[in-house]
Structure 1
Amino acid sequence: MAAVDRFSLLYREISRSCNFYMEALAIVGAWYTVRKCVSLAFDTYSMLRLHVIPKLGGEVNLVKKYGKWAVVTGSTDGVGKAFAEELAKRGVNIILVSRNKEKLEAVSRSISETYPVETDFIVADFSKGREPYPAIKEALRDRDVGILVNNVGIFHGYPEYFSNLSEDILWDIIHVNIASASMMTHIVLQGMVKKKRGAIVNISSIFCCQPTPLSTIYGASKSYVDYFSRALHYEYASKGIFVQSLTPSTIATKLVAFNSSLSKRSIFIPSAEEYASHAVSTLGLSKRTAGYWKHAIMFTLAEHLPEWFWAWSSLCISSIVRKQALTSKVK
């Protein structure tokens, strides 16, 4: 009988302990659920505010808000050209900056003939280190530059192991992807501060959110651009300067020409024109955005994936793409 009593007492103690832990787990579960629901609601609202509401309302007068001229680097092809055209469509005069004079002349002429804006261009090869910047600074000296789009960027052809890249490619990526954004911003920023208005748009990449094997130097350069943009925004927001980091996923441009599937428009791969149209509408609304609503979903998912899973899946996919690129190269 005594043994039965002891067992009953033990059972009651265990039950009380279990009830306490069950209640604690229920509280933790409820807190986690509420937190996720709030986060989802906030993300949904942010997406609507960035990618739906601006399309429904009237367009912002960018000239009045920021200034008469926009400088766009890497502007003879792809996203840069599309950005220049989209800004011109909204009445902003365009200064194109790229290395190919013939292409610059053609794009400049096309924009000025299509839209009621003035255009100009500056020939500059950003892979030449410090060489192009004195001429750029002189050319922009008396311009009312209200918007700078640091778009110019290069990739190392196809996914590749870091040790297989040449030193020339490494320096080119550093000069074009990192130094150009820093130096172009430095050139126009003083004028913007004096006027107490201006916008700087830096094109980063979804690769900035997680380590991406076989795109190591490219991803690192885009991480720099993203960090640089976000820090600069906090540094100069009080002075009337808006700095935006765009973190797109794949866009159908020459940058991904090494793979026929990636270089064609699809459900998650917009054309450069489609991307630019969406991205420009987010200017002044978000300091960090993918610029395109489908890419925003992808970026959010990528950020929340475990690092090991992102790195592993990226390595697998990039290895396949690399193999395809090398096979095509041999042919």
Structure 2
Amino acid sequence: MVFCVEVFGWGIMVVMGAKLLFNCYDFFYATYLAAALGHNLVPKIKQFGSWAVVTGATDGIGKAYAQQLAALGLNIVLVSRSPVKLKQVSDEISRQNRAIQILTVAVDFTDGNAIYPKLKKELSHLFGQIGILVNNVGMKLPTCQIADVPSGDQFNEIINCNVMSMVRLTNMLLPAMRKKKRGLIINIGSLAGTGFAPMRTTYGATKAFVDKFSCDLAAEYRSDGIVVQSILPGYVATKLPGLSGKSSFDVPTAKTYVEAALLRSLGVETRTSAYWFHKILLYWTEFLYFFVPNLVQKLTVSIIGRKAQMANLQTRM
């Protein structure tokens, strides 16, 4: 009996050791080696189509995706809320990439169903040429308990912006991609959607939807030549509420983050945090959520609760 337990224990250690070695190899391959060996999709990206649609394209990750895709020679449709900011970003990209075309569409994704006839009208003449969709637009609610969210309308807005926008645009553009047997859809989620997100409950739930939707969509359309990628960033130096906008080794700039996501992981990973530090965070958070979920949940509530209290005090001062 003792011998059997000992053999079983050694067997578990061998399996865990092999798994750890594989995870280390996979991390270094996907983060550094794949791009160097030309195993990603960047060299073939124009084969998907000559146009890319990017939502939430005037700031942060969305703007960085638009800039990177334009630098690769793709024409860009910039979709965001502010006509003024759309014009500024369009002019900036045009100065850097004079050979490409840029179309801007101003819509507010928190408005729900009302905006989609306009989007379809603006994009319909490009359906056969659009090969890439970056569903980036998103919003956050104040970091607080759900009962303390000041307006019930904000729940409609965050679901319309973070969930409905992705589903509706994917549904709008997929038929032409399926007909051509090629397409690329990149959905921007968050690490907050992969585990516990107390005090950010609605935001975390919408981003969990993004991840689930993306992974299932990738399996559903793989045989049609359509690539779907779920991107799960941690903190990035952007202008979203609650972020300082300052970069560091663990909080990359949007440009640095998108370089990791687009130039390294595209076609290599279906589900990824892309940036090396965020990949480590994703691995360990999911590992701890699996083995000690109650402890992680209590610590998360405590840490985020203290941060929210500090932020509220600073706001009042």
Indicate the TM-score class for this superposition, using the shorter chain for normalisation: over 0.9
Structure 1, 41-50 or 277-286: larger mean CA deviation = 41-50
Please name the residue that 1:297 is paired with: 280
- Aligned pairs for 1:43-192 (under 5 A) are 43-58=23-38, 60-115=42-97, 116-143=99-126, 144-157=129-142, 159-165=143-149, 166-192=151-177
Q: How does 1:201-212 map to 2 (within 5 A)?
A: 201-212=186-197
Q: Is the 8 A contact 1:82 1:272 kept in 2?
A: yes
Deviation of 1:321 after TM superposition, in Å, equals 1.4
Matched with 2:13 is: 33
- 1:35 to partner: Cα distance: 1.6
Distance 1:102 1:179 in 2: 24
Identity rate, percent: 37
Gaps of 5+ in 1: 1-19
Residue 277 (structure 1) shift: 0.6
Distance 1:26 1:266 in 2: 46
**Aligned-pair Cα RMSD in Å:** 1.5
Given that 2:34 and 2:268 are in contact with CA atoms closer than 8 Å, whether structure 1 keeps it comes out as no
Displacement of 1:259 in angstroms is 4.9
SS of 2:164's partner is: helix
Check the 8 A contact 1:210/1:311 in 2, yes or no. no
Most deviating of 68-77 and 302-311: 302-311
Q: Show the counterpart of 1:8.
A: none
For 1:225 and 1:174, how far apart are their aligned partners in 2?
11
Deviations 1:221-256 (A, max 9, x none): 00111100011111111001111111111111112x
Tell me how far apart the structure 1 counterparts of residues 247 and 172 of structure 2 sit (CA, whole Å). Answer: 35
CA distance in 2 between counterparts of 1:169 and 1:40 reads: 43
Q: Distance in 2 between matches of 1:276 and 1:178?
A: 21
Pair 259,83 (structure 1): closer, same or farther in 2 beyond 3 Å? closer
TM-score normalised by L of structure 1: 0.89
SS of alignment partner, residue 258 of structure 1: coil
Per the alignment, residue 260 of structure 2 pairs with 278
1:217 paired to 2:202: yes
Q: Distance in 1 between matches of 2:250 and 2:35?
A: 19
Q: Counterpart amino acid of 1:243? A: V
Q: 2:213 aligns with which of 228, 239, 248?
A: 228
CA offsets, 1:87-139, max 9 Å, x none? 11111211110010010011011111102422111111100010111111121
Structure 1: distance between partners of 2:13 and 2:78: 49
**Following the alignment from structure 2 to structure 1, what is the Cα–Cα distance between the partners of residues 44 and 294?**
42
Give the Cα–Cα distance (whole angstroms) in 2 for the partners of residues 313 and 232 of structure 1. Answer: 33
Secondary structure in 2 aligned to 1:87?
helix
Report deviation, 1:28.
2.1
Cα distance, 1:55 vs structure 2: 4.0
Contiguous gaps of at least 5 residues in structure 2:
none
TM-score, normalised relative to structure 2: 0.93
Say whether the 8 Å CA contact 1:70–1:147 is kept in structure 2.
Answer: yes
State the one-letter code of the partner of 1:315.
V
Quote the residue 1:264 is aligned against.
246
Deviations 1:41-72 (A, max 9, x none): 22222222321024424572344331111111
Aligned to 1:319: 305
Number of residues paired by the alignment? 307
SS in 1 for 2:230: strand
Q: How much does 1:217 deviate?
A: 0.5
**Aligned partner letter, 1:252:** A
Deviation at 1:24, TM superposition (A): 2.1
